[in-house]
């Protein structure tokens, strides 16, 4: 008990000392009375509890702050992680876009190549079309030629019906008539009258070219006999046409008056008394005739109807 009193007294002394010291430290401006009141109040046992409460509150506040910081850090970390995810997503997206871009470039190059191929194919088709159009023209010419030949062959039919008629050896059967082209070197050139006499020996006469078909057929034949080394003026063939009776009035052997004709440009010009007509091997068959002096030495063409075979 005494120990308790002593210890209680010692406690009070120590406590009062502490209170007084604190009083000096914290409230040195306060009056002594106030010091005494404060000292008395702090001497109360609740004072220690308040201190603990304050400490606990401080700790709680600190814990709350730490928790808030922790949460903040968590949120920040999440954001960073999300950012990292976004970066990864963007990277993936960039990779995907790069792949798409590369594919698009590849497809574009393929399409470009395809287009180039198509253009070159189109060019080739164009050339082929031009070529075929040329061939069509060729076929058209061939068809015309064949039709002409058919017409010639058809013209033989009546003659065949009438019995077997033919041309003399060395003569050419053409458009139902027989022709002699005095083109060989064994027959020298001669004047119009002598040429006619040669024809008459065979029962023939100089050719009468009174149709377009005859002019074309005869031009084709004499063009084949053409000697390029010979001057054109010496390359003609006498035909059965003259203006010897009335100058400028051209007549066939039977007296029929010429209708049109196939004169060369500027012909007939009667240059130095040219009263006899000749056909020349020219590319343009519609400009095939000249008038020439009748004594001029030329080749000639005879004509006669086919004859029956002598029985
Ligand atoms: C020249 C020209 C023509 C004429 C011939 C006859 O070419 O004088 O007019 O018809 O000779 O060969
Ligand atoms: Ca002439």
Q: Choose the weakest-confidence range: 125-139, 257-271, 282-296.
A: 125-139
- Please compute the mean of the pLDDT values over residues 90-111 and round it to a whole number: 95
Identify the residue whose C-alpha is closest to ligand 1 atom 11: 233
Residue 50: what pLDDT? 81
Residue 269 Cβ < 6 Å to ligand 1? yes
Q: Which atom of ligand 1 is the closest one to the Cα of 296?
A: 12
Which of 178 and 311 is assigned the larger pLDDT? 178
Q: Which atom of ligand 1 is the closest one to the Cα of 272?
A: 8
Q: Choose the weakest-confidence range: 45-49, 83-87, 272-276.
A: 45-49
Residue 274 Cβ < 6 Å to ligand 1? yes
Residue 253: what pLDDT? 98
Residue 292 Cβ < 6 Å to ligand 1? yes
Q: What are 194-215's pLDDT values in tens digits?
A: 999 999 999 999 999 999 999 9
293 Cα–ligand 2 center, Å? 8
Question: Whole-model pTM above 0.75?
Answer: no
Q: Which ligand is nearest to the CA of 233?
A: 1
Cα of 242 vs its chain's centroid, Å: 61
Q: Which atom of ligand 1 is the closest one to the Cα of 291?
A: 10
Residue 200: what pLDDT? 98
Residue 233 Cβ < 6 Å to ligand 1? yes
Residue 271 Cβ < 6 Å to ligand 1? yes
- Which of 232, 233, 241 should be mutated for ligand 1, with most atoms under 8 A from CB? 233
- Please compute the mean of the pLDDT values over residues 106-133 and round it to a whole number: 95
Q: What are 124-175's pLDDT values in tens digits?
A: 999 999 999 999 998 999 999 999 888 878 877 766 666 677 899 999 998 8
Is the separation of the CB atoms in 290 and 265 below 8 Å? no
Identify the residue whose C-alpha is closest to ligand 1 atom 1: 233
Q: Choose the weakest-confidence range: 35-39, 91-95, 219-223, 253-257.
A: 35-39
Residue 47: what pLDDT? 63
Identify the residue whose C-alpha is closest to ligand 1 atom 6: 292
- Which of 232, 274, 282, 288 should be mutated for ligand 1, with most atoms under 8 A from CB? 274
Residue 209: what pLDDT? 98
Give the rounded percent of residues in the chain with a pLDDT score beyond 90: 58
270 Cα–ligand 2 center, Å? 5
294 Cα–ligand 1 center, Å? 12
292 Cα–ligand 1 center, Å? 6
44: confidence class by pLDDT, cuts 50, 70, 90:
low
| pLDDT over threshold 50, residue 43 | no
Instruction: Give the separation between CA 292 and CA 275, rounded to whole angstroms.
Output: 6
Residue 42: what pLDDT? 47
Which of 77 and 248 is assigned the larger pLDDT? 248
| pLDDT over threshold 80, residue 31 | no
111 Cα–ligand 2 center, Å? 71
């Amino acid at each position: 008990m005494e120990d308790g009193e002593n210890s209680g007294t010692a406690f009070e002394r120590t406590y009062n000392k502490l209170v007084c010291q604190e009083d000096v430290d914290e409230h040195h401006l306060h009056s002594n009375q106030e010091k005494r009141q404060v000292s008395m109040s702090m001497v109360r046992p609740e004072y220690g509890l308040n201190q603990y409460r304050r400490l606990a509150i401080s700790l709680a506040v600190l814990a709350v702050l730490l928790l808030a910081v922790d949460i903040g850090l968590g949120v920040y970390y999440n954001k960073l992680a999300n950012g990292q995810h976004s970066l990864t997503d963007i990277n993936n997206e960039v990779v995907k876009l790069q792949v798409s871009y590369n594919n698009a470039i590849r497809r574009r190059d393929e399409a470009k190549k395809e287009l180039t191929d198509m253009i070159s194919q189109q060019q080739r088709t164009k050339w082929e079309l031009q070529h075929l159009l040329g061939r069509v023209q060729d076929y058209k010419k061939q068809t015309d030629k064949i039709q002409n030949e058919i017409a010639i062959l058809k013209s033989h039919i009546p003659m065949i019906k009438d019995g077997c008629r033919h041309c003399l050896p060395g003569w050419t059967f053409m458009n139902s008539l027989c022709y002699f082209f005095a083109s060989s070197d064994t027959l020298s050139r001669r004047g119009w009258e002598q040429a006619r006499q040669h024809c008459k020996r065979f029962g023939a006469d100089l050719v009468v070219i009174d149709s377009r078909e005859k002019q074309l057929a005869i031009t084709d034949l004499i063009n084949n006999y053409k000697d390029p080394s010979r001057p054109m003026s010496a390359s003609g063939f006498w035909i059965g046409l003259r203006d010897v009776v009335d100058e400028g009035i051209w007549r066939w052997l039977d007296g029929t008056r010429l209708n049109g004709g196939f004169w060369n440009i500027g012909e007939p010009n009667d240059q130095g008394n040219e009263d006899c007509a000749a056909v020349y091997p020219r590319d343009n068959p519609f400009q095939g005739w000249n008038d020439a002096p009748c004594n001029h030495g030329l080749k000639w063409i005879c004509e006669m109807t086919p004859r029956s075979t002598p029985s």
